[in-house]
Amino acid sequence: MTSAMEPHAAWQKRYERERKARLEAEAIAEKSTRELYELIQNLKKAAAELRQAKEAAQAASVAKGNFLANMSHEIRTPMNAIIGMTELVLDTELTDTQHEYLAMVREAGNSLLSLLNDTLDFSKIEAGKLELDSDVFGLRERLGDAMKSMAFRAHGKGLELAYHVHSEVPDALLGDASRLRQIVVNLVGNAIKFTTQGEVVLDVACTSQTDATADIHFTVTDTGIGIPANKLESIFDSFEQADMSTTRQFGGTGLGLAISSRLVELMGGRIWAESEPGRGSGFHFTVKFSLAAERPSEAQPPQTVFPHDVRALIVDDNATNRLILNEMLSNWGMQATSVATVAEGLAALRAAYDARQPIHLVITDCHMPGEDGFDLAEKINRNSQLADIQLIMLTSGSEPDDIRRCEQLGVVAHLLKPVKQSELLDAIGLALGLQVTEAEMPLEEARKLGALRILLAEDSIVNQKLALGLLQKHGHDVTVANNGKQAVAAIDGECFDLVLMDIQMPEMDGLEATAVVRAKEMKSGRHVPIIALTAHAMAEDRERCLKAGMDGYVSKPIRARELFDTIAALIATEVPAQSGKTPPAMQGQATTEPATSADALIHWTVALQTAQGNQDFLKELVQLLLEESARLFVEIHAAIKEQDAKTLQRAAHTLKSSLKALGASSVAQAAERLETIGRENRLSDANAAASLLHQRFDPLKIELLAFLAGETTIA
Ligand code: ADP
């Protein structure tokens, strides 16, 4: 029994041992699981806390950005009032001391305002709220305007300010022009601020170009104090200045470059600086712009050329200016030479005269060391051999007397430096008796137009002459109005095929005049095509013109190709083989017989078929068409004005169907074009198409009215 118990006890003992061990292992496992669970819980909690902290930090940063943005925005309003009111008081009678104190208030106000603007921009960028616009703009014109706005500051310090856009740089770009201006103004402003002597130059080159984009490299160089090598990178950080001790001398906050560098980044480019302390700095930035597909002709530098035998001499002591002017003139096909002094200039003029190659045009800087531009003008005037020379003077605008002296000396034009290409082109046109021609004259388009009666509303004598020259050369009959009021009166009294309307005119501007004309046309049912003459090729300008009821636009200075292409696009189809001066709107007026040719406005046989051969019913249909079309035209114009593509499509469609039913197929085609424009949402083409529709519909209306009056008999 004992022996039988023995193994059992041993087994039990082992069992107990194993059970204990198992229990212990289980306890350990349970403890570890619990500990692991706790660890995971703790980790989760820590992660949640971390996330919360991060979110709180982000929210705080956004809130800080928003607060800064809101505050700086809010402070700007009273700030503007303070500056504005101070300016008003400054215009009243004050003692010298009062004037001095208030001038200081205004100055302090202005610096505070620019600081606010910087803070607003910076906080907007930091809060990720700054969005770039994308519009078509003309690079040369925009940069020219920006540089001109800095001219006063530069010339006030006796600095030369120049800008040079290389000829290969495309002009019509798509991007945010005002932010580009901000960067340029900041860099050029700094360059002027930190330079006491010499020049500040903006150079613009194209480093690579595809069919769709262009990489543009901007460089602003100066001959100023320079920046130490160890500061070249940090100056792009916010609130960093190369030399804090200069703050008092030059002012500033250290935000300008930080903003510029963020803006360049947003534009997909790079910004950097190089400098040699004591010799000057060069600030570079690159931007990749899309090319504006809308205006391919503008994507090239201006094609205008002068006759090859025009010889020009440039007299300027500044080598950069000589280079820039020389390049511009050569690009326009002139024979240009340049010299640095008045003595050299006179020698060159005499030598050219002796060689029977006289110089036609002199472009001279006004202020030069030693003998200046006025001395040159006087000497040219005194020499009878040089009497035919035309003079253009480049002034810095700092001397109020300059303009009067220019006039006394018979200078054709005086231009404020830095000169914009478009201004120089206009001035040369004026100086040379407007011998502006095009590289290739658009004879084909011009010939197709026949002779038109055109009203030219333009206050600038130069542009009047230029446009008159171009238009009359092609046989058009041109009436001139000097302002918007005169234009409206002329359109009231006479029937024109086309109006060329300047935008900025005294008395009544072009937009207002167009609105008046269009309002009157609501009653008369007529529609005279109006082409705007705009100083800028900016998309927003074009939008404004089209919204005001204009049908197209041409940018100034007027170039023959662009002008005739635009006119042709608007009305060429309407005057195919016309030789006389009958305006398109008058066609068909003499129709007493039903038209039968292929170009007939209305196929009466088709119309009669639609009316089931019943003349009375046809009269009812015609009456209905007239009433319906009047309503639909109102709808079409409202839809274009409100940019409502759907309504435009529907109204044009209804009109097309009615016209087709009555066999007025060419007018129906014009309506169909408008319908397609609505469907494809191409509203920028709508005004031109609506104008064409009007031109075709007007004579049809006359014929329909003649039919209703019983003047037309249908076999
Ligand atoms: P601010 O001009 O308001 O101080 P910026 O951010 O525009 O701020 O410039 C930062 C600093 O970079 C300036 O304070 C100056 O020290 C240096 N700097 C910028 N441009 C030039 C320049 N053209 N020549 C010399 N120093 C410059």
Ranges of each domain in the chain: 11-126, 135-291, 311-432, 443-586, 604-708
pLDDT of residue 577: 32
Q: Kindly report the protein residue whose alpha carbon is nearest to atom 23 of ligand 1.
A: 191
Cβ of residue 281 lying under 6 Å from some atom of ligand 1: yes
Rounded to an integer, what distance in angstroms lies between the CA atom of residue 344 and that of residue 356? 18
Range 604-708 has CATH code 1.20.58.710: no
Cβ of residue 122 lying under 6 Å from some atom of ligand 1: no
Contact between 450 and 575 (Cβ < 8 Å): yes
362 secondary structure, DSSP code: E
What pTM value is reported for the model?
A: 0.54
Cβ of residue 241 lying under 6 Å from some atom of ligand 1: yes
Rounded distance from Cα 235 to ligand 1 centre (Å): 7
Rounded to an integer, what distance in angstroms lies between the CA atom of residue 127 and that of residue 58? 10
Domain at 443-586: CATH architecture: 3-Layer(aba) Sandwich (3.40)
Rounded distance from Cα 252 to ligand 1 centre (Å): 8
Of 333, 303, 318, 267, the residue nearest 163 (C-alpha): 318
pLDDT, tens digit (0-9, with 9 covering 90-100), for 684-713: 888 888 888 888 888 888 888 888 888 777
The yes-or-no verdict on residue 635 having pLDDT over 60 is yes
- Cβ neighbours of residue 69 under 8 Å, at least 6 residues apart? 120, 123, 124, 127, 129
Rounded to an integer, what distance in angstroms lies between the CA atom of residue 461 and that of residue 539? 26
pLDDT of residue 540: 64
The yes-or-no verdict on residue 2 having pLDDT over 60 is no
pLDDT of residue 201: 95
Rounded distance from Cα 400 to ligand 1 centre (Å): 32
Point out the least confidently predicted range of 78-92, 516-530, 536-550, 616-630: 536-550
- Cβ neighbours of residue 585 under 8 Å, at least 6 residues apart? 495, 497, 526, 528, 695, 698, 699
Rounded distance from Cα 247 to ligand 1 centre (Å): 9
Pocket test for ligand 1, best of 116, 194, 233, 249 (most atoms within 8 A of CB): 194
Rounded to an integer, what distance in angstroms lies between the CA atom of residue 392 and that of residue 186? 31
H helices present in 474-614, as ranges:
484-493, 510-524, 539-547, 560-571, 604-610
Q: What type of residue is 452?
A: L
Rounded distance from Cα 190 to ligand 1 centre (Å): 6
565 or 308: whose pLDDT is higher? 565
Among the atoms of ligand 1, which is closest to the Cα of residue 242? Answer: 16
**What is the pLDDT confidence band of residue 176, given thresholds at 50, 70 and 90?**
very high
Cβ of residue 235 lying under 6 Å from some atom of ligand 1: yes
Of 554, 501, 543, 547, the residue nearest 298 (C-alpha): 554
Helix (H, G, I), strand (E, B) or coil at 492: helix
Cβ of residue 224 lying under 6 Å from some atom of ligand 1: yes
Mean pLDDT of the region 570-589: 38
Tell me which range, 34-48, 234-248, 625-639, is most confidently predicted by mean pLDDT: 34-48
Strands 199-209 and 213-222: antiparallel
Domain at 11-126: CATH architecture: Orthogonal Bundle (1.10)
H helices present in 267-334, as ranges:
319-331
Task: Judge if 135-291 and 443-586 fold alike in CATH terms.
Answer: no
pLDDT, tens digit (0-9, with 9 covering 90-100), for 429-441: 777 755 444 433 4
pLDDT, tens digit (0-9, with 9 covering 90-100), for 381-419: 888 888 778 899 998 866 667 777 888 888 888 888 898
Q: Kindly report the protein residue whose alpha carbon is nearest to atom 3 of ligand 1.
A: 252
Percent residues over pLDDT 70 in the chain: 84
Start-to-end CA distance of the chain, whole Å, equals 143
Pocket test for ligand 1, best of 119, 196, 225, 235 (most atoms within 8 A of CB): 235
Mean pLDDT of the region 531-557: 73
Rounded distance from Cα 196 to ligand 1 centre (Å): 14
Among the atoms of ligand 1, which is closest to the Cα of residue 254? Answer: 8
Angle, helices 645-661 vs 665-679, to 10°: value is 160
The yes-or-no verdict on residue 573 having pLDDT over 60 is no
Rounded to an integer, what distance in angstroms lies between the CA atom of residue 210 and that of residue 170? 11
Strands 213-222 and 280-291: antiparallel
CA 378 to chain CA centroid, nearest Å: 40
Pocket test for ligand 1, best of 185, 223, 241, 281 (most atoms within 8 A of CB): 241
Q: In this structure, is the dihedral angle defined by the CA atoms of residues 596, 599, 601 and 602, taken in order, positive or negative?
A: positive
Structure token pair of residue 434: 């407007």
The yes-or-no verdict on residue 456 having pLDDT over 90 is yes
554 secondary structure, DSSP code: E
pLDDT, tens digit (0-9, with 9 covering 90-100), for 200-237: 999 999 999 998 899 999 999 999 999 999 888 888 88
Rounded to an integer, what distance in angstroms lies between the CA atom of residue 462 and that of residue 165? 25
Rounded distance from Cα 566 to ligand 1 centre (Å): 47
Rounded to an integer, what distance in angstroms lies between the CA atom of residue 469 and that of residue 130? 48
The yes-or-no verdict on residue 459 having pLDDT over 80 is no
Rounded to an integer, what distance in angstroms lies between the CA atom of residue 403 and that of residue 398? 10
pLDDT, tens digit (0-9, with 9 covering 90-100), for 22-56: 999 999 999 999 999 999 999 999 999 999 998 88
Among the atoms of ligand 1, which is closest to the Cα of residue 255? Answer: 6
Pocket test for ligand 1, best of 231, 257, 271 (most atoms within 8 A of CB): 257
Mean pLDDT of the region 271-276: 95
Cβ of residue 143 lying under 6 Å from some atom of ligand 1: no
Secondary-structure class of domain 135-291 per CATH: alpha beta
Contact between 531 and 458 (Cβ < 8 Å): no
Q: Kindly report the protein residue whose alpha carbon is nearest to atom 21 of ligand 1.
A: 190
Q: Kindly report the protein residue whose alpha carbon is nearest to atom 20 of ligand 1.
A: 190
Fold topology of 311-432: Rossmann fold (3.40.50)
Rounded to an integer, what distance in angstroms lies between the CA atom of residue 671 and that of residue 667? 6
Q: In this structure, is the dihedral angle defined by the CA atoms of residues 680, 686, 692 and 697, taken in order, positive or negative?
A: positive
pLDDT of residue 48: 92
Rounded distance from Cα 253 to ligand 1 centre (Å): 9
Cβ of residue 333 lying under 6 Å from some atom of ligand 1: no
Q: What type of residue is 1?
A: M
Cβ of residue 118 lying under 6 Å from some atom of ligand 1: no
Cβ of residue 114 lying under 6 Å from some atom of ligand 1: no
